[in-house]
């Protein structure tokens, strides 16, 4: 069926790829002996795949990536291949690492071997291809960097090794570039080596080579059915018995479905698992596993788990560690799942390859719905505009290249066989961004053949001809609504047809009209691109899942920033991204777009997601809160409710109705003391990684008028006094002859002016769909020039009229600032009028005021929305109250410096430290950001670790801010979050302390 590459092809370019590998099978926990080969190996590095220029041996750690152990360098590209597209060939210069060590079969395996046992050598991850030799004899070749590969090494390890010693030399020749590279073009670092564990396994004669289980749950009866089949290496049944003590069950593992009576079903909400053993009747081997009974079906346009519609509140997860890259620190799997569970996530897509097997075990144990994805992406073919035209086939996309058929079908079969016993996996995906063709159709079929119990999806099957679910990445809120309504606008249809054509499909204008897509459930396979500050509008997306049954949620892009710890030229410790390792071709910081920073600190986007992913919808009104239980299976008896009416200082317990899944109810609330009521739901008891008293969701009701009224008014008016040099005093404030505030009591003020700018967020930078940064900078918005128009005393007010001008542009704004004061405070009333000819469609970043005060005001208390940052389209879960923070904790250390840290709806704040103190008041509620560096510094630096504090405290009050959107890879902010350049007025009061 395939045309093999001529025999002269070197092993790393051969198709079908891989040699002599055993068929994929489950990763089983067994009592058969296993010997870990992890540890220190000998390593020789060179640039030629044939190994002809290898250097001297040196120790290296396995598992590990050689680029992070002193050889070569990481390279980051998102789409484009870092090598010429010349299938199946790769360049002569090919970073190559030869790993070797001695290996001996443990003496106590001898009897089992004599009785017919076999020895397998297992690699769980080698990037990108390896040729394995024992004692100089080739054992095989790997294919599938993130796939487990096993070789039967019994015969080569039998008898003595070199010089009659018990040990044999194991050589693993790894190349960075191989034919696999063309089908492993995921958006991540290109790094190489043996990055997951290596083991030697004893397979006893009569043992359980493979085991496939299906633990089905019938929601109608509440009963389970277990099918288990134990097989040998040839696929023949092995007489074996399954025992589940928790069900008092003991049945043959012979593939016969066995009714097991009532069971507690598995779901992400309640992940009930049953400990099971499967023992070969010969006694040769016992394997242990945890079984979860559940049923996943596509029922028309709704996906159901255990009979109920579920909504995926998910995230895409790559395997990344800031020190060891794709090698997983033990513990990262548990930590990631714990963080996800604590932030209301219930689903994860293993983008874009099968994860370390421990991750799936934790998902089973703690409860996350998993889309397990195969190791397949060929995105670089889309980036090459000439593909499809090359008559040699060197640029033919693998999805319809028969040369790849066998290899890719085998990949699909292999990953499903490893993971199909996991309860957490509810869907399979064959891969990502690789177009469609006869090969992907065959891959989907291969997945179904290996496991008929779960639906299969593949996002790029846009028409959904083969896949069981319709999925897209980054559709807009409006497009998603149209999918929910099953009525696509002509524009969206046209876009979809364009997407089909971009895949090289010969789509006519009505190419989507007969597509089965809208008859199936829909998922955002990726949405809400969490790069830097953002993504915006998670609220609007998730609201659609409440409105339309067939919209079943999705997966935020992505879990973690892939920044790697390194140092810059100045010696700062930074998180490196594309371009920091000397790469010629790279995609910059597009590799840092996660909900957690590279060190796994939650970014505010994770807190925003936590809120909009809440399993209970909570809305607080005056005197009442409304709740809807969004769980599919649980009532609310595991939660409790509290209310605060005094700024979140004291909490009163409320009686929370149990509410069945889908049910709504209300809570009566006491009267608010200062216009603010906050309700929160907390866990009663610890469940897995979620502790007791853990916040699930909080929401507030704010009576802005009452809050404003609570801010005391100025006392008896102070009069502005002009000094001889033209400067002015007004209460505690001093202004220079240009009307600039220069001192507040004992606090020197180095800068005080209207502020229309912010350090652009990732979603506004070049290469986004909405590159506002360039437009803002073209008109000089980042370096505004002030010109005094007039400075006059008008009664008890000092009125300063200025013009904010922009270099090279006639745009700008007129600003009138009216200062009033009393003995201890000054108040500014500011009106900003942008130029009447300001271009429509060019939003302002901000309308606000920035002050530079002495450094060291590093204790900040504020009455506003907290504890985390908010922008107009983010900040879910931030509630109004009295919050305190250090200056340091107010900053968000985004990998690429950008606007951050705004606390919204602040009516009062107190900054204090060595330099003294300052009280701020803003009755109508302003955004507050306090920083140890200026916006210019945030704008200038390209790594968080390079930011330098300048000895001042920068305070920015924002009356209005542009939304952050998702345009780095998705839509711009929704119209309601766009800050148009119209006239705006705001005010604030400054009270210096002692
Ligand atoms: C998608 C892709 C992801 C990632 C994302 C942008 O197109 O599937 O792997 O590249 O865009 O960050």
44-58, 494-508, 771-785, 938-952: which has the minimum mean pLDDT? 494-508
Task: Determine if ligand 1 sits within 6 Å of the CB of residue 434.
Answer: no
Query: What number does the ligand 1 atom closest to the CA of 351 have?
Result: 9
Residue 111 pLDDT greater than 80, yes or no: yes
Catalytic entry in 361, 406, 526, 764? 526
For residue 508, name the pLDDT band (cuts at 50, 70, 90).
confident
Tell me the pLDDT of the chain averaged across its residues: 96
Q: Can you tell me the distance from the alpha carbon of 641 to that of 683, in angstroms, rounded to the nearest whole number?
A: 9
Q: Which of 557, 586, 589, 763 to mutate to test the pocket of ligand 1 (most atoms within 8 A of CB)?
A: 557
Task: Determine if ligand 1 sits within 6 Å of the CB of residue 273.
Answer: no
Strands across the sheet with 34-36, in order? 34-36, 198-203, 118-123, 149-152
CA of 769 to the centre of ligand 1 (A): 14
The angle subtended at Cα 354 by Cα 353 and Cα 358, nearest 5°, is 140
Q: What is the pLDDT of residue 1?
A: 45
Task: Determine if ligand 1 sits within 6 Å of the CB of residue 473.
Answer: yes
Residue 2 pLDDT greater than 60, yes or no: no
| Structure token digits, residue 693 | 């008293």
Residue 7 pLDDT greater than 60, yes or no: no
| Structure token digits, residue 767 | 């290469």
- Nearest of 733, 710, 712, 709 to residue 723 by alpha carbon: 733
The CATH number for 11-203, chosen from 1.10.3720.10, 3.20.20.210, 3.40.50.2300, 2.60.120.260, is 2.60.120.260
The whole-model pTM stands at 0.97
For residue 509, name the pLDDT band (cuts at 50, 70, 90).
confident
Task: Determine if ligand 1 sits within 6 Å of the CB of residue 320.
Answer: no
Terminal C-alpha separation, the chain: 85
Strand partners, 190: 75
Q: What is the pLDDT of residue 328?
A: 81
β-strand pairing of 369-373 with 425-429: parallel
Q: Can you tell me the distance from the alpha carbon of 229 to that of 566, in angstroms, rounded to the nearest whole number?
A: 49
CA of 525 to the centre of ligand 1 (A): 10
Q: What is the pLDDT of residue 388?
A: 62
Residue 645 pLDDT greater than 80, yes or no: yes
CA of 558 to the centre of ligand 1 (A): 9
Residue 596 pLDDT greater than 60, yes or no: yes
Q: What is the pLDDT of residue 513?
A: 85
Q: Whose CA is nearest to atom 3 of ligand 1?
A: 187
Question: Would you tell me how many other CB atoms lie within 10 Å of the CB of residue 79?
Answer: 16
- Enter the DSSP assignment of 943: S
> Which strand (E) or helix (H) includes residue 113?
helix 110-114
Q: What is the pLDDT of residue 687?
A: 98
CA of 187 to the centre of ligand 1 (A): 6
pLDDT digits (tens, 9 = 90+) for 713-736: 999 999 999 999 999 999 999 999
pLDDT digits (tens, 9 = 90+) for 22-56: 999 999 999 999 999 999 999 999 999 999 999 99
Catalytic entry in 433, 540, 764, 899? 433
For tokens 């071997």, the residue is 113
Do the Cβ atoms of 753 and 762 come closer than 8 Å? no
Q: Whose CA is nearest to atom 6 of ligand 1?
A: 969
Residue 384 has φ and ψ, to the nearest 5°, of -95, 105
Task: Say whether 833 sits in a helix, a strand or coil.
Answer: strand
Query: What number does the ligand 1 atom closest to the CA of 558 have?
Result: 12
Question: Would you tell me how many other CB atoms lie within 10 Å of the CB of residue 270?
Answer: 14
Contacts of range 442-448, beta carbons closer than 8 Å, 24 or more positions apart: 442/405, 442/408, 442/409, 443/374, 443/376, 443/408, 443/409, 443/411, 443/412, 444/412, 446/409, 446/410, 446/412, 446/413, 446/416, 447/374, 447/412, 447/413, 447/416
Residue 162 pLDDT greater than 80, yes or no: no
Q: Whose CA is nearest to atom 11 of ligand 1?
A: 969
CA of 602 to the centre of ligand 1 (A): 21
pLDDT digits (tens, 9 = 90+) for 517-535: 999 999 999 999 999 999 9
| Structure token digits, residue 689 | 């990684």
Of the chain, the percentage scoring pLDDT greater than 90 comes to 93
Residue 6 pLDDT greater than 60, yes or no: no
CA of 85 to the centre of ligand 1 (A): 20
Q: What is the mean pLDDT of residues 854-866?
A: 97
Task: Determine if ligand 1 sits within 6 Å of the CB of residue 557.
Answer: yes
Residue 109 pLDDT greater than 60, yes or no: yes
pLDDT digits (tens, 9 = 90+) for 216-242: 999 999 999 999 999 999 999 999 999
pLDDT digits (tens, 9 = 90+) for 829-848: 999 999 999 999 999 999 99
β-strand pairing of 249-252 with 240-244: antiparallel
Q: What is the mean pLDDT of residues 765-782?
A: 94
What CATH number has the domain spanning 210-299? 2.60.40.10
pLDDT digits (tens, 9 = 90+) for 601-616: 999 999 999 999 999 9
What CATH number has the domain spanning 614-702? 2.60.40.10
Query: What number does the ligand 1 atom closest to the CA of 531 have?
Result: 12
Do the Cβ atoms of 64 and 33 come closer than 8 Å? no
Q: What is the pLDDT of residue 507?
A: 75
> Which strand (E) or helix (H) includes residue 880?
strand 879-886
CA of 843 to the centre of ligand 1 (A): 27
Q: Whose CA is nearest to atom 9 of ligand 1?
A: 187
What CATH number has the domain spanning 721-992? 2.70.98.10
Q: Do domains 302-609 and 721-992 have the same CATH topology?
A: no
Residue 5 pLDDT greater than 70, yes or no: no
Asked if CATH classification 3.20.20.80 holds for the domain at 302-609, the reply, yes or no, is yes
Do the Cβ atoms of 638 and 658 come closer than 8 Å? no
Residue 385 pLDDT greater than 70, yes or no: no
Q: Can you tell me the distance from the alpha carbon of 148 to that of 364, in angstroms, rounded to the nearest whole number?
A: 20
Task: Determine if ligand 1 sits within 6 Å of the CB of residue 78.
Answer: yes
Query: Chain-centre distance of CA 288, in angstroms?
Result: 32
Q: Whose CA is nearest to atom 2 of ligand 1?
A: 187
Q: For the chain, which residues make up each domain, given as ranges?
A: 11-203, 210-299, 302-609, 614-702, 721-992
Q: Can you tell me the distance from the alpha carbon of 53 to that of 280, in angstroms, rounded to the nearest whole number?
A: 49
Q: What is the mean pLDDT of residues 317-342?
A: 95
Q: What is the pLDDT of residue 437?
A: 94
Residue 511 pLDDT greater than 90, yes or no: no
526 as an active site residue: the answer is yes
β-strand pairing of 286-291 with 296-299: unpaired
pLDDT digits (tens, 9 = 90+) for 646-699: 999 999 999 999 999 999 999 999 999 889 999 999 999 999 999 999 999 999
Q: Please report, for residues 361, 362, 541, the alpha-carbon distance to residue 366 in angstroms, rounded to integers and kept in the order given.
A: 9, 6, 26
Q: Can you tell me the distance from the alpha carbon of 403 to that of 406, in angstroms, rounded to the nearest whole number?
A: 7
């Amino acid at each position: 069926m395939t045309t093999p590459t001529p025999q002269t092809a070197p092993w790393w370019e051969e198709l079908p790829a891989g040699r002599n590998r055993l068929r994929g099978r489950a990763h089983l926990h067994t009592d058969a002996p296993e010997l870990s080969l992890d540890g220190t190996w000998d390593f020789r590095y060179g640039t030629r795949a044939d190994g002809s220029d290898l250097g001297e041996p040196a120790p290296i750690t396995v598992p590990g990536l050689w680029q992070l152990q002193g050889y070569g360098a990481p390279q980051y590209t998102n789409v484009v291949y870092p090598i010429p597209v010349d299938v199946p060939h790769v360049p002569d210069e090919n970073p190559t690492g030869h790993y070797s060590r001695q290996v001996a079969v443990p003496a106590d395996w001898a009897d089992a071997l004599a009785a017919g046992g076999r020895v397998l050598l297992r690699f769980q991850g080698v990037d990108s291809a390896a040729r394995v030799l024992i004692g100089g004899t080739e054992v095989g070749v790997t294919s599938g960097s993130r796939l487990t590969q096993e070789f039967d090494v019994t015969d080569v390890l039998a008898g003595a090794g070199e010089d009659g010693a018990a040990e044999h030399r194991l050589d693993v020749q790894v190349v960075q570039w191989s034919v696999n590279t063309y089908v492993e073009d995921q958006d991540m670092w290109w790094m190489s080596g043996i990055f997951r564990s290596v083991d030697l396994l004893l397979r006893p004669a009569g043992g359980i080579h493979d085991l496939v289980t299906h633990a089905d749950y019938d929601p109608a009866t509440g009963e389970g059915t277990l099918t288990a089949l134990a097989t040998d290496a040839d696929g023949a049944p092995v007489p074996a018995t399954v025992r589940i003590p928790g069900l008092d069950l003991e049945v043959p593992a012979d593939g016969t479905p066995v009714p097991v009576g009532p069971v507690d079903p598995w779901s992400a909400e309640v992940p009930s698992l049953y400990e099971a053993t499967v023992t070969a009747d010969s006694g040769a081997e016992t394997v242990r596993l945890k079984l979860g009974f559940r049923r996943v079906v596509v029922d028309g346009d709704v996906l159901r788990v255990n009979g109920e519609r579920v909504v995926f509140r998910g995230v895409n997860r790559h395997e990344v560690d800031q020190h060891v890259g794709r090698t997983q620190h033990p513990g990262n799997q548990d930590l990631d799942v714990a963080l996800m569970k604590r932030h209301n996530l219930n689903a994860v897509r293993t983008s874009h390859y099968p994860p370390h097997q421990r991750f799936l075990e934790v998902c089973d144990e703690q409860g996350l719905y998993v889309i397990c994805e195969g190791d397949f992406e060929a995105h670089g073919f889309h980036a090459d505009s000439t593909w499809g035209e090359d008559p040699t086939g060197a640029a033919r996309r693998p999805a319809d290249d028969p040369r790849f058929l066998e290899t890719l079908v085998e990949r699909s079969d292999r990953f499903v066989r490893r993971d199909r016993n996991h309860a957490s996996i509810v869907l399979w995906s064959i891969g990502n961004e690789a177009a469609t063709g006869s090969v992907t159709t065959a891959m989907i079929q291969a997945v179904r053949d290996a496991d008929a119990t779960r639906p299969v999806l593949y996002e790029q099957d846009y028409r959904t001809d083969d896949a069981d679910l319709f999925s897209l990445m980054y559709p807009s809120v409006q497009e998603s609504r149209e999918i929910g309504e099953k009525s696509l606008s002509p524009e969206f249809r046209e876009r979809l047809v364009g997407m089909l054509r971009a895949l090289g499909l010969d789509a006519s204008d009505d190419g989507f009209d007969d597509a089965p897509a809208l008859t199936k459930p829909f998922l955002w396979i990726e949405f809400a691109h969490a790069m830097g500050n953002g993504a915006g509008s998670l609220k609007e997306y998730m609201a659609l899942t409440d409105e339309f049954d067939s919209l079943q949620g999705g997966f935020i892009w992505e879990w973690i920033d892939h920044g790697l710890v390194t140092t810059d030229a100045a010696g700062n410790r930074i998180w490196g991204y594309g371009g920091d390792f000397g790469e010629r071709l790279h995609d910059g910081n597009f590799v840092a777009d996660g909900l957690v920073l590279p060190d796994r600190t939650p970014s505010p986007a994770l807190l925003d997601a936590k809120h909009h992913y809440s399993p209970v919808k909570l809305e607080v009104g005056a005197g009442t809160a409304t709740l809807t239980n969004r769980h599919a299976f649980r009532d609310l008896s595991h939660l409790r409710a509290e209310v605060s009416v005094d700024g979140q200082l004291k909490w009163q317990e409320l009686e929370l109705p149990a509410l069945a899944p889908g049910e709504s109810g209300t809570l009566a609330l006491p009267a608010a003391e200062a216009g603010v009521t906050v309700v929160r739901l907390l866990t009663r008891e610890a469940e897995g990684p979620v502790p007791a008293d853990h916040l699930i969701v909080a929401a507030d009701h704010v009576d802005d008028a009452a809050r404003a009224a609570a801010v005391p008014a100025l006392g008896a008016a102070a009069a502005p006094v002009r000094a001889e040099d033209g400067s002015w005093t007004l209460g505690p404030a001093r202004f220079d002859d240009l009307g600039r505030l220069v001192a507040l009591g004992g606090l020197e003020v180095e800068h005080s002016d209207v502020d229309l700018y912010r350090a652009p967020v990732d979603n506004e930078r070049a290469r986004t769909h909405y590159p506002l940064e360039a437009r803002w900078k073209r008109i000089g918005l980042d370096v505004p020039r002030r010109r005094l128009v007039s400075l006059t005393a008008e009664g008890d007010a000092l009125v300063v009229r200025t013009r904010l001008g922009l270099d090279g542009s006639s745009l700008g704004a007129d600003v009138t600032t009216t200062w009033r004061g009393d003995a201890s405070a000054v108040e500014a009333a500011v009106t900003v009028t942008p130029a009447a000819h300001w271009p429509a469609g060019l939003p302002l970043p901000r309308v606000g005021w920035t002050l530079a005060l002495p450094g060291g005001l590093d204790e900040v208390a504020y009455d506003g929305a907290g504890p985390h940052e908010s922008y107009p389209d983010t900040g879910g879960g931030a509630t109004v109250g009295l919050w305190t923070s250090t200056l340091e904790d107010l900053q968000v250390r985004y990998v690429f410096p950008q606007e951050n840290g705004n606390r919204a709806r602040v009516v009062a704040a107190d900054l204090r430290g060595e330099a003294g103190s300052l009280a701020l008041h803003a009755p109508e509620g302003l955004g507050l950001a306090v920083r140890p560096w200026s916006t210019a510094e945030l704008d200038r630096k390209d790594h968080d670790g390079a930011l330098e504090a300048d000895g001042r405290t920068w305070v920015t009050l924002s009356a209005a801010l542009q939304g952050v959107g998702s345009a780095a890879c998705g839509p711009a902010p929704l119209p309601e979050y766009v800050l148009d350049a119209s006239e705006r007025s705001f005010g604030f009061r400054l009270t210096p302390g002692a």
